[in-house]
């Protein structure tokens, strides 16, 4: 029950390819790149494994957790 318990629960193995596809999908969604979004969803659509989809969602959430940079107003007008 110590505060400094070194025992860690082993993390489940992640499919890094699906995590990366999730990040790319989130980037494309933020930039409104529908062509890239459709291409990525076609790649993901072939794989119907539940763990792969959870890795895909985890990749999206890692990018979505980064707040967008606020754009300045165009003051020249």
Half-sphere exposure of 20 (CA within 13 A, CB side): 3
Q: Which two tokens stand for residue 11?
A: 């993390």
**Confidence at residue 77, expressed as pLDDT on a 0 to 100 scale:** 59
**Confidence at residue 8, expressed as pLDDT on a 0 to 100 scale:** 75
Half-sphere exposure of 56 (CA within 13 A, CB side): 14
**Confidence at residue 24, expressed as pLDDT on a 0 to 100 scale:** 95
Q: Which two tokens stand for residue 44?
A: 């993901």
Q: Give CA–CA dist 49/28, Å, rounded.
A: 23
pTM of the predicted structure, to 2 decimals: 0.72
Q: Tens place of pLDDT for every residue, the chain, 77 residues?
A: 556 767 777 777 788 888 999 999 999 999 999 999 999 999 888 766 777 888 899 999 999 998 888 888 777 65
* SS3 assignment, position 55: helix
């Amino acid at each position: 029950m110590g505060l400094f318990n070194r025992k860690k629960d082993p993390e489940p193995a992640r499919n890094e390819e699906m995590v990366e596809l999730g990040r790319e999908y989130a980037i494309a969604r933020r930039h409104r790149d529908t062509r890239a979004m459709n291409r990525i969803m076609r790649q993901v659509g072939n794989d119907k494994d539940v763990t792969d989809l959870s890795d895909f969602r985890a990749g999206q959430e890692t990018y979505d957790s980064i707040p967008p940079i606020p754009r300045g107003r165009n003051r020249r007008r």
